Amino acid sequence: MIDLYTRRRWTNRLTMGAAALATLFGLFWLAWLLFTLCVNGIGHLSWSVFSQPTPSPKGEGGLYNAIIGSLIVTGLGTAIGAPIGILAGTYLAEYGRDSRLAAVVRFFNDVLLAAPSIVLGLFIYQLVVVQIGHFAAFAGGVALALIVIPVTLRLTENMMRLVPDRMREAAAALGVPRWKVITHIVYRAAKAGIATGVLLGVARIAGETAPLLFTALNNRFTSYDLWSPIANLPIMIFRFALSPYEGWNQLAWVGAFLITFAILGLNIFTRVVLRHSASE
């Protein structure tokens, strides 16, 4: 019979040890994943990856069209989604505040934030692709915008709420109209936080694949046309990784390496910015 004190101590050691092991378990996957990406990605990085379009199954080529397409679709998604998210966040932080409407919008924004991205793709397919009759880069951008909106909305609202009301009152006391108070005072004060929201939105959509399957789809050639299908890295990875051709598989790994490290870099960068601006 072990005494109570020893038993309690051992229970504590056991559970705390398990917690530490769980953390190692979580970190282990990240390390393994990044290791795999480096091993399979770095070796095949070359200038042709950035300068040549995707090859035919046996040919030589790079990822130029997919990188360009990804930039276009991601840029479009951000350009459409970020302003809407920022304006809606502004409403919640400045005009709506504790109103019933603001509470409802906040709630459904969280729903949108966590809605499966493939469902967003189906929606835009019905809304845009079916209407214009074919897959298009524009539709891909709209689908991605639906992911950007909730991310930027949430951060914008939080960041604007951190701006003290004394600043608003001081400006209002000078006779400045409310919209100028918001655009000239509050936005300026919350600038870094809002930028962080937008960048996190970019990081969220840069690797999104599911909503692009039914919207932007793919293109073997370099395209800058918003109204036709466009190549992009995630769909390229999907196609090439599942293909039987070794050259395509390798390009898929290179694409995976590029996109993952771009996204992780963006995430770490925004965390640094956010931390810096929060400590000011």
Partner 1 sequence: MNQAAESIPPVPGRSAGSRATPVGDTFFHGLTAVAAVLVLAIIAGIAVSLILGSAPALAEFGPGFLVSDVWNPVTNNFGAYVAIFGTLVTSAIAMVIAVPVSFGVALFISELAPAWLKRPISVAIELLAAVPSIIYGMWGLFVLAPVMADTIQPWLKTIFGDIPLLGVLVQGPPIGIGVFTAGVILAIMVIPFIASVMRDTFEVVPKVLKESAYATGATTWEVVRHIVLPYTRTGVVGGIMLGLGRALGETMAVTFVIGNSHNIHAGLFHPGNSIAATLANEFTEATGEIYTSALLALGLILFGITLIVLIAARLLLMRLQAGEGR
263 near partner 1, judged by CB under 8 A:
yes
Map the footprint of partner 1 across residues 175-234, applying CB under 8 A. Answer: 177-180, 182-183, 203, 206-210, 213-214, 217, 234
256 near partner 1, judged by CB under 8 A:
yes
Among 140, 150, 197, 201, binds partner 1 (CB under 8 A): 150
**Burial call 190-202: b when 16+ CB within 10 Å, e when fewer:** bebbbbbbbbbbb
CA distance 197 to 95: 20
Residue 213: CB minimum distance to partner 1, A: 6
Which of residues 55 and 211 has its CB atom nearest to partner 1 in the complex?
211
Which of residues 9 and 191 has its CB atom nearest to partner 1 in the complex?
9
Map the footprint of partner 1 across residues 151-180, applying CB under 8 A. Answer: 153, 161, 164-165, 168-169, 172, 177-180
Among 67, 252, 254, 274, binds partner 1 (CB under 8 A): 252
Map the footprint of partner 1 across residues 84-123, applying CB under 8 A. Answer: 84-85, 87-88, 90-92, 94-98, 101-102, 104-105, 107-112, 114-120, 122-123
Q: At 138, which helix (H) or strand (E)?
A: helix 137-162
Cβ proximity of 85 and 258 under 8 Å:
no
Residue 80: CB minimum distance to partner 1, A: 11
11 near partner 1, judged by CB under 8 A:
yes
CA distance 156 to 146: 16
Residue 1: CB minimum distance to partner 1, A: 20
Tokens of 75: 């840029």
Residue 120: CB minimum distance to partner 1, A: 7
Map the footprint of partner 1 across residues 26-55, applying CB under 8 A. Answer: 26-27, 29-30, 32-33, 36-37
CB hemisphere CA count around 201 (13 angstroms):
35
Q: Which contacts qualify for 263-271: CB closer than 8 Å, 24 or more apart?
A: 263/203, 263/206, 263/207, 266/199, 266/202, 266/203, 266/206, 267/200, 267/203, 269/199, 270/196, 270/199, 270/200, 270/203
